[in-house]
Chains A and B, each alone.
Chain A
Amino acid sequence: MKTSKKESETYWNPLVETLPMERLRDLQFKKFKKIFEWAYKRSKFHRRLYQEAGLQPRDIKSYEDIAKVPKVEKSMMRDIQKKDPFPYGDALCVPLEEVTEFRQTSGTTGTPVYQPDTWQDWEWWSEAWAYLLYAQGYRKTDRVFLPFGYNIFVAFWAGHYGAEKIGCEVVPGGVLDTEARILKIQELRATAMMATPTYVLGMADAAKKKLGIDPARDLSIRKITCAGEPGASIPSTKKRMEEAWGAKVYDHVGATEIGAWGFECVAQPGGLHVNEALFLTQLEDIESGEIIEEPGRRGKIVITALDRIAQPCIRFDSKDVAEWSKDPCPCGRTFRLIKGGVVGRADDITKIKGVLLAPSAIEEVVLSIQGLSNEFEVVVTKKEDLDDITLKVEILPDEERNRETILSQLKDQLRLKTNLGYNIEVHPCLSLPRYEIKAKRFKDLRKQG
C-alpha cells in the first residue's frame, strides 16, 4: 500500500479511488454480502423481503447474484415505519438506544420517511462528504459558509461535518436571512459555499438588487457545491451560477435514505463520479430491470450503501435516471462517471403529446436564453383529450426591448431540445414563485382531471 504525496494532494483516499475496476467490483461484492447478511439477521423487514424471494445470504455467490436481490422502494419504507419500534419500524438493525441521529425526507413525493443513524453511520455520512468535497478542491485553508436552515432534513448537515473532517473552517449560516448571509460571507471572506442551485442564483440576484453587491467582484467565494436539484449538472444553469459568483460550481447527488453517493470533481468532466468505495451503484433498464453496464443507455439507479448499519440501504430504487459515460475522467479516479449527472427521475419523466420529457431539459433551454430571469414554471394540462403545455417565463426589465428575439429563440430551442410546442406566457419580473430549497417548477395537472 504505497501512495505518493501528489496522490494524497488529489484524492481523499488514493488507495481506493484509483483501484482498478475489477478490484473495486470484488470489494463491492464482498461488502455487499456482509451488509446483506447484517440486514437479514437483524431486520424483520429485510428477512421477510428476502425470504419471500427465496434468498438467503449463502445464495449471493457472485457479483451477478446481487441483481437477484429484491429492490426496496420509498413506499415500502413508509409502510415499515408504521410498525415497531417507534418511530422507525422493523427495518431497524440496531437497538433503538444506539440511534443518535434523526432526519427525515423532504416529503416531495409523499409522506416523509424517517431515517435513523448511529454515530458510526453519521461518521460514515461525513466520510462520504469528505470524499466529495476533497475531490472538489476543499482544503484546510477554506472557510466554508453554509446558507442552510439546519433543520430536520439532512440536506447540508453532512456537508458541514464532511468539511470539518477535512479541516475546513465551517460557518453555519443557519437562521440568517438571505441578505444577512451575503453580508456575513463578505465580512468573513468565505471561500466556499454549499446550496441548492435555485438558492445560489437567488442569492446572487438578492446581492445585486438589494445590496448592490456583485458576488463575482465583491465576494471571495471561489467554489460552490450544489445539491437537492439537478441544476449544477445542467450546463446553462451551471454557467449562470459560475458567472454570477465568479466561482467553480460542482454538483453532488445523494438522498436521505442512501447517503452522498455521487460527485463532480475539479476536472468538471461533464458528469458525476459514483463513490464506488462506499456504495454499489447499479443502473437498471426502467422497463425490464436488466442491469446496464454499457455507456449510452439510460436506466434507473439502484444503490446499496455498503457500510450503513442502523437502517441499511440495500438495492434502494432511487428513481434517478442516468447513463454511464464512455470516457474515463482526466482526474484519474477509477470511480465510474454518470454522463451529465442525473438527467431526471423515473417518476418525473413524463409523456406529453406522446413525447418523453424530462423537466431538466426545459431548464437547460430557459437558462440558456439571455434576457430571461432564472425563474420559470411549467404547467401541463389536458384540453379535450389533448395534452397542453404552458411555459411561464420572466423577461428581465432591461431586456424588454429584445422581447420578440428572446421569445423566438426560446420557442426554437424548446422545439429543438424537447420536440414539443409550448404556450409561452411572459410574466412580470419577480412575479413567479421563488424557492430556497427544492424548487417545484413542473406541475402536471392532468391526473387531477
Chain B
Amino acid sequence: MDTRIKAIKKAAQELKDLSKGIPAVDCNVGRILASVKMLEINISDLLTYRI
C-alpha cells in the first residue's frame, strides 16, 4: 500500500508541475495531497518510522 501511496503523491505533484498554474488543477491537486497525507498517517508512517 505504501508503494501505491507514494505513486499517487508523485503523480499528483507531477500534475501540479505540468499545469503551470491552472487554478482548477493546482487547487484540486492540493486537496488530493491532503487526502494522501491522511493515507500516509494511516499507513506509510508505520513504515517510515519503522514501527
Contacts and interface: CB of A to CB of B under 8 A. Distances in A.
Contact of A124 (B31, B33, B38): B38
Chain B: interface secondary structure?
A: helix
B41 A27 contact: no
B14 to A, nearest CB: 19
Contact of A13 (B33, B34, B35, B42): B42
B41 A30 contact: no
B42 A123 contact: no
Given A19-B51, A23-B51, A26-B51, A1 B37 contact: no
Contacts of B31: 119
A120 B9 CA distance: 14
Chain A: interface secondary structure?
A: helix
A31 interface: yes
Interface in B4-50: 30-31, 33-35, 37-38, 41-43, 45-46, 49
B51 A123 contact: no
A16 interface: yes
Interface residues of A, number: 20
A123 B35 contact: yes
A375 interface: no
A37 interface: no
A277 interface: yes
Interface of A: 1, 13, 15-16, 19, 23, 26-27, 30-31, 118-120, 122-124, 127, 277-278, 307
Given A23-B51, A26-B51, 14 more contacts: A1-B1, A15-B42, A27-B51, A31-B45, A118-B34, A119-B30, A119-B31, A120-B34, A122-B34, A123-B37, A124-B38, A124-B41, A277-B42, A307-B37
